[in-house]
Amino acid sequence: MTFPFFTPEGSGELRRRAIHRLRKTPARAVRLENAADTKQLIQELQIHQIELELQNEELKNSKAEIEVALERYMDLYDFAPIGYFSLDQQGLILEVNLTGAALLGMERSRLVNRRFQLFVAPERRPAFNAFLGRVFAGHEKQSDEALLLNAVHAPFWANLQATSAVTVSTVQKWCRVSVIDISARKQADAAQHRIEMLTATSKRMEDEIFRRQALETAVKASELRANRLAEHAQEMQKQMRDLTHRTIAMQEEERKELSRELHDEVVQTLIGINVNMEALRKRGSIGAPALRKKIAQNQRLVKNAVKLVHRFARGLRPSILDDLGLIPALHGYCKSLSAETRLLIDIKAVGRVEVLGENEKAVLYRVAQAALSNVVRHAHATKVNLTIKEISGAIRMEISDNGKSFDVEKILLDKNPRRLGLIGMRERLEMVGGSVAIESASGKGTTVRAEIPFTREKPKK
């Protein structure tokens, strides 16, 4: 508000009014000591006194007007439909109107000197601090949306608009933040979005129904063909399984024959060569040490060749399996494997296993051979327990190690070399009506469990 008596024109008008009032005022008794100067001075003092009285009246009137305007402003400020907050640079609440206090559900006196960030949802506080930083970085209005929490931690969305300001008396930076509850708008937007999503979903469902109806006829028409293909695939699978079984049986028979030939012919031939070389060494000249040394070297090579042939023969088909049975064959194989790898193998078997047929015992031997080979190559185990026991109507062989575990399903699905060994076990056991189960768990190692019934229906050829 402007006070007119503080301007040069106002001062002249004030003096004119003071002189006019003085003339209307009855003369006061004034003590005159001398001259007209004294009288003039007294008159000036009286005029100045009247000026002060007029200024006082103006100030009272202005104060009343200011108080009325301030009261009107405070009413508008407190009861505005928008929450107003005055914040410093750290977010401290300096002032708040009644609407703002109502939004936060707390008395105004308790809000002052609290940090506004306490009423911002924790996940939104970094964004609010960035917003406050932008407000104090310039003088342009900044806007943002924040998820606020009232005194009972009930969340609501609010639109924030703020501009920075400076108090001249303290040169303190602060800003005025307007807070508008936009929860209803957010809910309306969400509802509208849901309606749009439902409409789009409905349209997609209609299109999908139409598409499915169009495909239904084609599906029905192809069902018969699919069934025929499935039957053909099953027949092909059966034929492949039968072929696999016959192939395994032929391989086993060929190994048996080859092992026998190696043992009966190649080994005997090598032994004969060694005997002849020994006789040659004895008849050799005493004065020819180089010849004797050469003969001795060849004899060692022949002995090594005999050992290799024996090992290859055992790998193909140990003759002890056909001559003495499964248990001695397993003992011989495990003893040889332990000597080569230092793997401790404990065997416990019931003699009832020898009642099984020749093919069944050969299958159990191959399963044990494949399982122990996997232990050596992959498990890094130190001990293996191989047990053969009789269960209800069947023989069960278990091979358990204390090595590393593996994901059985993943190995069977992946193109992993170990997969072929596991599949080979299953195929061999299915060929004689048996089954295989593999368990592997961290800290417990791996167990291969093979079962073959005593009586079974012979596979069709």
8 Å CB contact between 346 and 386: yes
End-to-end CA distance of the chain: 116
Is pLDDT above 60 for 261?
no
Answer yes or no: is 309 within a domain.
no
The Cα-based distances of 246 to 234, 269, 311, 459, 461 in angstroms read 18, 33, 26, 10, 8
- Count of residues for the chain? 461
Answer yes or no: do 114 and 44 share one domain: no
The H or E element containing residue 274 is helix 267-283
- pLDDT, one tens digit per residue, over 329-383 is 899 889 988 998 889 999 999 988 989 988 898 889 989 988 998 899 888 899 9
Dist CA 322 CA 333 (whole Å): 14
- pLDDT, one tens digit per residue, over 314-330 is 555 677 787 888 999 89
Answer yes or no: is 129 within a domain.
yes
Answer yes or no: is 245 within a domain.
no
Look up the CATH number of the domain holding residue 166: 3.30.450.20
- pLDDT, one tens digit per residue, over 398-416 is 999 999 988 888 877 666 6
Look up the CATH number of the domain holding residue 333: 3.30.565.10
> How far out from the chain centre does Cα 143 lie?
35
The first and second tokens of residue 151, run together, are 């005194």
**What's residue 331's pLDDT?**
92
Answer yes or no: do 324 and 400 share one domain: yes
The 3-state DSSP class for residue 35 equals coil
Answer yes or no: do 57 and 114 share one domain: no
> How many domains does the structure of the chain reveal?
3
Query: Could you list the residue range(s) of the whole structural domain that residue 72 is in?
Result: 4-78
Answer yes or no: do 68 and 102 share one domain: no
Answer yes or no: is 38 within a domain.
yes
Highest mean pLDDT among 219-233, 239-253, 255-269: 219-233
Residue where one domain finishes, among candidates 33, 60, 78: 78
Ramachandran angles phi, psi of 33, nearest 5°: -95, -35
Answer yes or no: do 449 and 368 share one domain: yes
418 band by pLDDT with thresholds 50, 70 and 90: low
The 3-state DSSP class for residue 163 equals strand
